[in-house]
Structure 1
Amino acid sequence: MIIGLAARIIKNKKSIVIVFMLLAVISVAAQFFVSVNYNMVDYLPDEAQSTRAIEVMENEFSSSVPDTRVMVNNVTLQEALLVKEQLASIDGVTDVMWLDDAIDLKTPIEVADIDTVESYYVDNKALFQLSIRAGEEVRITDEIYELVGEEGAMAGEAVNTATSQKMAGTETMYASALLIPIIIFILVISTTSWVEPLFFLTAIGVSVLINLGTNIFIGEVSFVTQSVAPILQLAVSLDYAIFLLHSFQEYRKKTDNPEEAMQLAMKDSFSPISASAATTFFGFMALMLMSFELGADLGLSLVKGILLSFISVMVFLPALTLLFYKWMDKTKHKNFVPSFEGLGRRVMKVRFPTLILILAILVPSFLAQSNTAFTYGLGEQPESTRTGADLIAIQETFGESTPIVLLVPAGDLVKEEELVSELEEMNHVTNIVSYVNTVGAGIPPEYLDESITEEFFSENYSRIIINTDTEKEGDIPFGIVEAVQATAASYYGDTTLSLGESVTLYDIKNTVQKDNTFVNTMTVVTIAVVLLITFKSLTLPIILLVTIQAAVWINLSIPYFTNTSFDFIGYLIISTVQLAATVDYAILFSETYKEHRREMPAMQAIIKTLDEKTFSISISASILSSIGFILWITSTNPVVQSIGLLLGRGALLAFVLVLFFLPAMLYVLDKVISKTTLKANFYKGK
C-alpha cells in the first residue's frame, strides 16, 4: 500500500509541491484574521464561580470590575477630580473610582477615615481605579499614558495584557532570529549537504504555516498557543523529516534511480514515523481533556500540527526532494559527525551506579515536584520596563491593592449593612464601597436618582466593592477570597457571587489542580497503549515510560529544591508535553536495541545501539532543548517563560536518562523483556 501511495506521490510531485506552497501562502494571509486572547478568565469552565459571576455582572450592571490603577503626581483635590473626568472621557474606560466615591469631599478630608483617604490620595498623589474594555487594552492604555505623561504611572491586569500584546510580535521575531541559525547549524553537522537542512525546515515550516492558517476556522487562540505551538510543532516533528531524508540517502547508495530510492525510503520510514507521530499525537490529545481550556486550546493546535507535519513529511517532502535532489548532490560536504565508537562500553561500565542513583532520587523527585510553590497568573513585568517601574512606584506610595466585587441579592439593606460591617473588620480590607456605607442604609434607593443607584443596584443584585491591601495571588489573597465568600454565604447562602483578579486566580488554581492528576494519567495511558501496539511487549512500554517520566519528575522537582516558585499552567502543560515530545528518544533506542538483540547478546546489542544512535538522539534533544531555552530567554510572559525553561531542561534530562538509565534497565530486565514480548526472537547464544 505504501509503495502504491509513494508511486502516486512521485508521479504528481510538481502538482503536490504547488498545492502545498499555495496552501502555505493562503495560510500566511489567513492567520492575520485569527485573534489572540490574553484573558485567562475566558478559559475557565462554564461552571466556575468566576465565569458565572462575570456573566451576571455583564447582564445586570453596565459597569465592570476595576482592573487598572492610575497614579497622577502633584495634583490638588480639585485637579484630581478633573483628571478623573478626563479618564472617564476616554473611549473604553469605565467605572473610574476615586476618593469622592468613598467619602463626601464637601467635608474636610482631615476628619475622614485616614485609611480610606490614603487609599486614594497621599502627598498630592492621586490613585484612580478604573476598568478598561477587553480587547482594546493597547489603544486605551496608550491614551491613558498620553494623559498622565511620563510622571504618571499605571498598573493592573489590563496594563499587563497590553504590554504582553505589544511584546508578543517583537519577542517572536527575536526568538526566531536566534533559533533558526542554531537549528540550521545543528542540522548541517548532522547531514552531508549544505542545503539538506533547508528541505527539513521547508517541509515542517509549510506544515507550521498551514497549522497557523487553519486556526481561522477556530477564530481565536490563546496567547500561550500563539507563542509556543508553532515552535513546539517545529521541534517535535523535525525528526520525521530527518528520518525520511536520511533513509532516502541510504537507499540512493543502493540504487541509481532516485524515485526508486524515495519509494523504498517512504516504505522503510512509514512505520517508525507513524509510531513517533502517534505517541506525540495522543500525548498532546490529553491536553484537550483539561477543563481549564487554555490547555485544550494548546492541545488542539499541537494535535493539528502533528497531523499536518506527518502529512507534509510523507507527501510534500518526497515530492520536493525529487524535484530538487540535485541541489543536495551539488552541495555535498564532508561528514562532521564525530565517531561515537567506544561510548557504549563506557556507558555500560557505570550501568549499576546509574541505576541505583536514578532509582534513589525517583521517589524524592516525585514528592518534590508535587510540593513546588506555584503562581497562577501572568505575573509582573520586569522592572526594566515602564510597566514594571510603574507598579513599583504605585506600590511604594499606596501599597498593594486588589479589589474584590461581591454580588448579593438586592432588597434587604439591613442584612447588607450587617454584611458590610463584618467585612470591614476583616484583616487586609482597606475600604468598602457599597450603597449602605456610601449613601446610607437609612435612605431608600427609590428616593434617589437612577444615576446614583445604578452604581450599586441592578434588578436582582446589590454590588459591593471590597478593596484589599494584598497581592493578587498567594496564600493570604486566596485566604481573603475564601473568607469573603464564606461570610457572604453565611448571610445569603449560595446565592452570592464574587469576582476580581484574585477570585479568578483562585478559581484557576482550583481548576488546574483538578486537571493535573487526570491529564497526566491520561497522557501516560494513551502513550502506553501506543507503545504496547508498537513493541507488542508488556514490559518495554513500562521501561520506556519510567525512563521518560523519571526525567519529567526530576525536571519538575528542581524548583522545589531551589526554593523558587513556578507558573502552574506551564508546569501542567510541560508535564504532558515533555513526556509526549521526548518519548521518541526512548522509542528509537529501544527499536534499534530489539533489532540488534535478535543477532547478538544483550550487552553487545546495547553497546552497538549506543554507538549508533547516540548522535541521532542528541540532535533531536539539542533542537528541542535549544527551542525551550530560547523561549525562556526571549519571552517576558511568565507562562511562556516557564514552558521554555522546563522544556529546555526536560529535553536534556530525557537525553541523559535515555543514554544512561534506559540501557541499564534494558540490560537488567533483558530476560523479562524476552519473555513478555510477542515474537521477540532474541539471540540465545552468549
Structure 2
Amino acid sequence: MKKIFKEIIKHPRAVILSFFLMIGISVFFYPRISVNYNINDYLPEDSDSTLALDKMNSEYDEPIPNARIMIKNVSINETLAYIDKIENIKGVDSINWLDDIVDLKKPLDTYDKNLIDNYYKNKNALINVSIDEEKTISATKEIRKIIGENNNMTGSAVNTAVATESTVSEIRIITIVGVMFMIFALILTTESFIEPLIVVIGLFSAVIINAGTNIIFGEISFVTNAAGNVLQLAVSLDYSVFILHRYKEEKKKYKQHLKAMDEALNNSFSSIISSASTTIIGFLALCFMRFGIGRDLGLALAKGITISLVTVFTLTPVLILYMDKLIEKTEHRSFVPSFERFGKLVTRHMYVFVAIFVILVIPSYLASNSNSYFYGSSRIFNEETKLGQDTKEIDDVFGKNDNYVLLLPKGELEKEKELSKELKKISEIDTILSYVDTVGETIPSEFLDKDIEEKFNSKDYTRMIISVKADFEGEKTTKLIEKIQSKISKYYKNDYHLVGEGISTDDLRKTITEDMKVVNIIAIVAVFIVLLLTEKSISIPVILVLAIETAIFINLSIPYFMSSTVFYISYLIISTIQLGATVDYAILFTERYCETRKIYNKKEAIIETIKSSTVSILTSASTLTVVGFLLGKLSSHGILSQLGYFLGFGTSISLIIVLFVLPGLLSIFDKIIQKTSKDLDFKEVV
C-alpha cells in the first residue's frame, strides 16, 4: 500500500477531479432510484404467499382489497354516491360493498343482521377498496379529498402511502439535525475549526456516491432509504478522525508534510482496515436473510462503508494537505478535558464493572430472547398518528377485519360447495364470496353476466373471497389460518393457493424467525474470523465479540423489562448493525492497549489507552447515538422509530462496556492475550 499512498499524495488534482465526477454521476442517478415501502414484497420468491399472489395476479385482473374506508352517518344511497366517485379515481381497481352481496332494493331487515353489519352499521358504511400499488399515493390522496378528514381510511395501501410521504420529510430533518450535531461534536473534539469541514466534505462525498450508486439495485427498501445514509455517516466518522489525529502525531516527527501524511496513512491502515472489515462483514451478514430487506440494507451499507474507506485513504488525505496551512491558522485549544482522571477512576473500579458485566450476561441473553413481536406492517403507525386514529375508529365500529382470497382448481362445483359450508362453520369467518355461493352450482357459466364470471372464474381457477374477523397478525390469527388451511387441505390437499395480508404476515413471521438464527451466527463467526486474521490473536476476538454481544443482549432485553412489543424486523436488523458498527470502538481501544502495554504496566497502560482513545470513540459513538435517538423520536414509522431507539440505546451500551468493562477484561486476560497473540511483547514497567 505504500506505493499507492505515495501516488495518491503526489496527484491530488486527479483525486479531487475523480471525486467530482463520481459525485456528479451519483447526483444525476439518485432521484431515479425507486423506494419500496411494502414489507410483503420482500418475502422470499418461493414463499407460499408470494407464489399464491403471483398465481392470482396472473389469473385475475382484480386484486385483493388493500384499503378499508368508513363513511360516517350516511344512508345507503349516499354511500352508493360515494362509491361512484371513488370508482372513477385513477388507481382504484375495484370496490367491494354490500351491493355485491345483497339486493339493495329489498329491505335490509330481510337479510341476516350479522351479514349487513359487516358493511353497514349504525349509519356507518365500510367499503373495501383495491388500489393499484403503482398509484397508491395519488389514489389515497384523491380518496381522502372525497371522503374528507372526518371519515376514516386504513389498510396496507394507506400504510404504504403514508409511510412514503412522511418518511421522506422526516428523514430530511433527521439528517440535517444529525449532521449539525456531528459538526458540533467534531468542533469539540478536534483542535482546528477547519478540521470538521474536511471530515464533513469527505463523509458527504462518500454518502452521495453511495446513495447514487444504489441505482445498481434498481430499487431500495424504505429501511435502506431512511437509515442507510445517516448510518453510513455515523459509522464511518471515526475513520476520518483517526487519520486526522494520526497525521498530527506524525507531523511532530517529520517536517515534510507529505512524509508525515505518508507515515500517517501507512501506520493507520491496519487499524482502520480492521475496524472497517468487521463493520462490512457485519452488514454483509444481513444478506444471508431470506427476508429481502436484510439483503437490501446489508448490500447498501457494506457498499457505503467500502466507499467511505476508499474516501478516507484518498480524498481525505488530499484535503488535509491542501488545507494544512488553514488548519494551523485556525487552531484552537482543546474544548474537551484530559481523560486521565477518568482513566484512573475506571482503573480503580474496573473489576467491579467486570463483575456487574458477568452478572448481566445470562439474564440479558434470556430476556432478549423472550420479547413479544409484531411481524408485519399493520402496527407501524400508532394512535398518535392520523392513520392510527383512523384504524382504531374503524376497528371500534366494525371490528378487526381482513380479506383472504382462496384459489381452487376450476370445475369441481360440488367440492367447492362442501368446502364453503365447512369454512362457514369457523366462527371468525364473516362472509364468503364465491361462484357457488353467489350464483350456485347449478347455473352454467355461459348464462352469467360477464363481470360476475370474471370476478370468480379464470381459465384454470375459481376463487373465494373470505372475509374474516381477525387482526392482521397475532397468535389468534395464526391459529385461524391453520384452521382454514386444515379445512381446505381436507378437500384439496396442497392443490390450492391462499392469499391475504394476514397470510403474508404469517409467512413473514416464519421467514424472519428462521433468519434470526442464521444471520446472528454468520455475523458473529465472520467478525470473529476477521478479528482473528487482523489482530493475529485467538483471545482478543473472543473478548471483543463477547463484550459487544453482551451489549446487544442488554439492548434487546430493554423492551422485555418494559413490557413493550418489538417489531421483529427492527430486532433482527439492529443485532447485526450494533455488532458491525460498535465493535470498532472495542478494536480501537484494544489496539491502543496493546501498543501502550509494550511500554507501561497494566494499570498505566489502561490509563494511557483511555486518555488517548476516548475522544475518538466518543466522537463517533455520540454521533451514532444522537442519530439513533433522532430517528426514534422524529419518525412516525413504527419500524424505523424502534430501529432508531435500538440504535441509540445500543450504541450507548456498547460505549459504556468498551470504556468501563473492556479495561478490566483486558487486565484480567493480560497474560492470556500475550500468550495467544502473535508479535505481542508486553513489558512490566515499574
* TMscore range, shorter length: over 0.9
Is 2:227 the partner of 1:228?
yes
After superposition, residues 280-679 of structure 1 pair within 5 angstroms as 280-378=279-377, 379-679=379-679
Letter in 1 for 2:641: Q
- Aligned equivalents of 1:540, 1:468: Cα separation in 2: 55
Letter in 2 for 1:215: N
- Aligned equivalents of 1:470, 1:659: Cα separation in 2: 49
Instruction: Kindly indicate whether the alpha-carbon contact (under 8 Å) linking 1:531 and 1:541 is maintained by their aligned counterparts in 2.
Output: yes
Using the aligned pairs only, state the percent identity.
Answer: 40
After superposition, residues 38-49 of structure 1 pair within 5 angstroms as 38-49=37-48
Are residues 38 and 529 of structure 1, via their aligned partners in 2, closer, same or farther at CA, if it must alter by over 3 Å? Answer: same
- Aligned equivalents of 2:615, 2:258: Cα separation in 1: 28
1:384, CA displacement in angstroms?
Answer: 4.4
1:151, CA displacement in angstroms?
Answer: 3.1
Instruction: Kindly indicate whether the alpha-carbon contact (under 8 Å) linking 1:203 and 1:313 is maintained by their aligned counterparts in 2.
Output: yes
Higher deviation after alignment, 431-440 or 359-368: 431-440
Letter in 1 for 2:337: P
Q: Which residue number corresponds to residue 66 of structure 1?
A: 65
Q: Which residue number corresponds to residue 7 of structure 1?
A: 6
Letter in 2 for 1:310: L
Higher deviation after alignment, 130-139 or 594-603: 594-603
- Aligned equivalents of 2:48, 2:605: Cα separation in 1: 58
After superposition, residues 119-268 of structure 1 pair within 5 angstroms as 119-268=118-267
- Aligned equivalents of 1:286, 1:225: Cα separation in 2: 15
- Aligned equivalents of 2:503, 2:80: Cα separation in 1: 30
CA-atom RMSD in angstroms: 1.5
| Structure 2 spans left out of the alignment, 5+ residues | none
- Aligned equivalents of 1:150, 1:583: Cα separation in 2: 48
Letter in 1 for 2:433: V
Paired residue secondary structure (2:481): helix
Could you report, residue by residue, the CA deviation over 1:498-541 in whole angstroms, capped at 9, with x for unpaired residues? 11111111111100011101100000111101110122111110
- Aligned equivalents of 2:386, 2:343: Cα separation in 1: 54
- Aligned equivalents of 1:524, 1:246: Cα separation in 2: 30
Could you report, residue by residue, the CA deviation over 1:148-201 in whole angstroms, capped at 9, with x for unpaired residues? 223332111111111111112210121123212211111111001112111111
1:380, CA displacement in angstroms?
Answer: 4.0
Instruction: Kindly indicate whether the alpha-carbon contact (under 8 Å) linking 2:368 and 2:553 is maintained by their aligned counterparts in 1.
Output: yes
Letter in 1 for 2:44: P
- Aligned equivalents of 2:548, 2:22: Cα separation in 1: 36
Higher deviation after alignment, 505-514 or 444-453: 444-453
Paired residue secondary structure (1:338): coil
Could you report, residue by residue, the CA deviation over 1:635-657 in whole angstroms, capped at 9, with x for unpaired residues? 11112112111111001100111
Instruction: Kindly indicate whether the alpha-carbon contact (under 8 Å) linking 1:14 and 1:323 is maintained by their aligned counterparts in 2.
Output: no
1:450, CA displacement in angstroms?
Answer: 2.4
1:396, CA displacement in angstroms?
Answer: 2.5
Higher deviation after alignment, 223-232 or 431-440: 431-440
Instruction: Kindly indicate whether the alpha-carbon contact (under 8 Å) linking 1:67 and 1:132 is maintained by their aligned counterparts in 2.
Output: yes
Instruction: Kindly indicate whether the alpha-carbon contact (under 8 Å) linking 1:74 and 1:124 is maintained by their aligned counterparts in 2.
Output: yes
1:571, CA displacement in angstroms?
Answer: 0.7
1:348, CA displacement in angstroms?
Answer: 2.6
Are residues 600 and 380 of structure 1, via their aligned partners in 2, closer, same or farther at CA, if it must alter by over 3 Å? Answer: closer
Instruction: Kindly indicate whether the alpha-carbon contact (under 8 Å) linking 2:238 and 2:617 is maintained by their aligned counterparts in 1.
Output: no
Q: Which residue number corresponds to residue 30 of structure 1?
A: 29
Letter in 2 for 1:651: T
- Aligned equivalents of 1:371, 1:601: Cα separation in 2: 43
Could you report, residue by residue, the CA deviation over 1:69-102 in whole angstroms, capped at 9, with x for unpaired residues? 1122333223322322322222211220001122
Higher deviation after alignment, 485-494 or 297-306: 485-494
Is 2:91 the partner of 1:92?
yes
Letter in 1 for 2:251: R
1:685, CA displacement in angstroms?
Answer: 5.9
Runs in 1 of length 4+ with deviation above 6 angstroms? none
- Aligned equivalents of 1:521, 1:385: Cα separation in 2: 37
Higher deviation after alignment, 365-374 or 352-361: 352-361
Could you report, residue by residue, the CA deviation over 1:571-607 in whole angstroms, capped at 9, with x for unpaired residues? 1011001001000111111111111222233233223
Could you report, residue by residue, the CA deviation over 1:468-497 in whole angstroms, capped at 9, with x for unpaired residues? 222211111222122212221121011111
1:315, CA displacement in angstroms?
Answer: 0.7
- Aligned equivalents of 1:256, 1:685: Cα separation in 2: 32
Instruction: Kindly indicate whether the alpha-carbon contact (under 8 Å) linking 1:99 and 1:121 is maintained by their aligned counterparts in 2.
Output: yes
1:112, CA displacement in angstroms?
Answer: 0.8
Q: Which residue number corresponds to residue 278 of structure 1?
A: 277
Instruction: Kindly indicate whether the alpha-carbon contact (under 8 Å) linking 2:380 and 2:639 is maintained by their aligned counterparts in 1.
Output: no
1:26, CA displacement in angstroms?
Answer: 2.3
Residues matched between the structures, number: 685
- Aligned equivalents of 1:191, 1:455: Cα separation in 2: 68
1:222, CA displacement in angstroms?
Answer: 0.5
Letter in 1 for 2:415: K
Letter in 2 for 1:480: L
Paired residue secondary structure (1:266): helix
- Aligned equivalents of 1:19, 1:633: Cα separation in 2: 38
Paired residue secondary structure (1:664): helix
Letter in 1 for 2:132: R
Instruction: Kindly indicate whether the alpha-carbon contact (under 8 Å) linking 2:340 and 2:607 is maintained by their aligned counterparts in 1.
Output: no
Instruction: Kindly indicate whether the alpha-carbon contact (under 8 Å) linking 2:178 and 2:623 is maintained by their aligned counterparts in 1.
Output: no
Could you report, residue by residue, the CA deviation over 1:220-274 in whole angstroms, capped at 9, with x for unpaired residues? 1001000011111111111111111111122223333222221121111211111
Instruction: Kindly indicate whether the alpha-carbon contact (under 8 Å) linking 1:103 and 1:438 is maintained by their aligned counterparts in 2.
Output: no
Is 2:109 the partner of 1:110?
yes
- Aligned equivalents of 2:340, 2:474: Cα separation in 1: 53
Letter in 1 for 2:681: N
Letter in 1 for 2:253: K
Higher deviation after alignment, 605-614 or 31-40: 605-614
Could you report, residue by residue, the CA deviation over 1:587-629 in whole angstroms, capped at 9, with x for unpaired residues? 1111111112222332332232223322322222111111111
Letter in 2 for 1:629: F
Are residues 669 and 255 of structure 1, via their aligned partners in 2, closer, same or farther at CA, if it must alter by over 3 Å? Answer: closer
TM-score by length of 2: 0.97
Paired residue secondary structure (1:680): coil
Letter in 1 for 2:221: S
Higher deviation after alignment, 86-95 or 158-167: 86-95
- Aligned equivalents of 1:609, 1:26: Cα separation in 2: 43
Paired residue secondary structure (2:494): helix
1:677, CA displacement in angstroms?
Answer: 1.4
Instruction: Kindly indicate whether the alpha-carbon contact (under 8 Å) linking 2:385 and 2:636 is maintained by their aligned counterparts in 1.
Output: no
Instruction: Kindly indicate whether the alpha-carbon contact (under 8 Å) linking 2:401 and 2:470 is maintained by their aligned counterparts in 1.
Output: yes
1:27, CA displacement in angstroms?
Answer: 0.9
Letter in 1 for 2:467: N
Letter in 2 for 1:66: P
1:287, CA displacement in angstroms?
Answer: 0.7
1:684, CA displacement in angstroms?
Answer: 4.8
Instruction: Kindly indicate whether the alpha-carbon contact (under 8 Å) linking 1:415 and 1:491 is maintained by their aligned counterparts in 2.
Output: yes
